[in-house]
Structure 1
């Protein structure tokens, strides 16, 4: 119970990766508060749910003050809320792409600023949830990839500006198996086929992302700040390898 007595907020913690992170913090002994615009369809462990639109700075400020007042402290903020539909750049106008950037980059900045004084008082930490889309081309989700690249840069700057009171790190995620996986990859066979493209042979589970987030928030990571931890199962096999080895037997 390495986080016993600590308080963690997980944005977008009502399902998928966010719910996996919330449950992992709870298993580690933390008191967990989750927020999203809509209430979870099923309870996420013992986490308290508070509705919140992260695009409303005043509401975000009030939310963090409420959490700190109720529990007496705030130790960790996990900026997990985010996502994007598949949308080629030419198929969406500037306003649609801007909304993707607002959710995936501006909202984490808004939440971090609102949580700053509470985290500073507790000498706490921030965990950003990034993506491999931010470190490689992301066709069909270019605005999302750009936002995640910006999020990683933001975290590194925060780690310098807010040290030594607050540590800031990023988890760079690959593909994760959630209840929404069939929407992206098709049926179970499709999900399995996509998983086989990962060197470790499968998609990550939300609980595994949660354990990595707990590590970064824990005393074990007390000297880790401004870091990007890759949680992608080994990455992606370069496409040229298949062509380069097509005639290797000959």
Structure 2
């Protein structure tokens, strides 16, 4: 993570980040720490090193986000340790590529549990605590462009993320005004596992050229939006789906019409 001053002060606030020990989640956890918040990260296995920033380190709690009992136990742990919960970031998720025609029922069920039901369970658990606080709270769901456009090879994941977007809008209506709920529609992100999806450095650079801003996102790009949505600066933002994808992807017809994406027409 690149250390940078954060204009948002979350001192005294508490954030829970699911899957917060690696990848995008680690970037989110470190940005919250840098902003002054206490941070709890949860996952099935403890990371080798915990997220840290500004001389402060996150607290780890073991949890399988697909288990509703674990969700409530995790929020109870946060309450016992810090006495409050101001921000929940439903970050844990993902799926390997698989052919839609041959994906097993067991695989599809597991993907939907991880990417849709888990966030619902954690939101329900957070509601109990946030709704009792005078200051309420903020829930940020890490969604994906897969939920708003076709995603061949990721049918269950895409459907789950589309469901997460609907979940976000519905909870914003049901739980407002005390709890704000928003989603970040994330595009392609360069993490420590980017090579598994995009190949070597040349492949990653080539993919970046198809994005209007000229590169894939870094975890910090997503993390900064999370901190904004958890802060008073977003006090009138709820039920929103914020696109953080660098401007989107070059349309296929432009690639077909011009083999050089750097000089393809944009209209």
How far does residue 127 in structure 1 lie from its aligned partner after superposition? 0.1
CA-CA distance at 1:42 after TM superposition:
2.0
Match of 1:38 in 2: 45
Query: Is 1:16 the counterpart of 2:20 in the alignment?
Result: no
User: What is the aligned partner in structure 1 of residue 205 from structure 2?
Assistant: 192
In the superposition, relative to structure 1, how do residues 62 and 242 fare at CA in structure 2: closer, same or farther (>3 Å)?
A: closer
Q: Provide TM-score, normalisation by structure 1.
A: 0.96
Alignment partner, residue 170 of structure 1 = 183
1:103 aligns with 114
> Runs (4+) of structure 1 moved beyond 4 Å?
244-248
TM-score by length of 2: 0.90
Q: After TM superposition, give the deviation of residue 121 of structure 1 in Å.
A: 2.5
- The CA deviation string for residues 113-141 of structure 1, in whole angstroms up to 9 with x for no partner, is 11111111231010000000000000001
RMSD, aligned α-carbons: 1.4
Measured against aligned partners, the alpha-carbon deviations of 1:156-197 in whole angstroms (never above 9, x if no partner) come to 000000001100000000000000001111111111111111
Larger deviation: 126-135 or 191-200? 191-200
Number of residues of Structure 1 aligned to a counterpart in Structure 2? 248
Match of 2:142 in 1: 129
Matched residue of 1:114: which SS?
Answer: helix
Q: Secondary structure at the match of 2:131?
A: helix
Deviates more, 1:60-69 or 1:122-131: 60-69
Could you tell me which runs of 5 or more consecutive residues in structure 1 were left unpaired when the two chains were aligned.
Answer: none
2:5 corresponding residue in structure 1: none
Q: CA deviation at 1:75?
A: 0.3
Greater displacement, 155-164 / 37-46 = 37-46
Please, which runs of 5 or more residues in structure 2 have no aligned partner?
1-7
Match for residue 3 of structure 2?
Answer: none
Q: CA deviation at 1:245?
A: 5.8
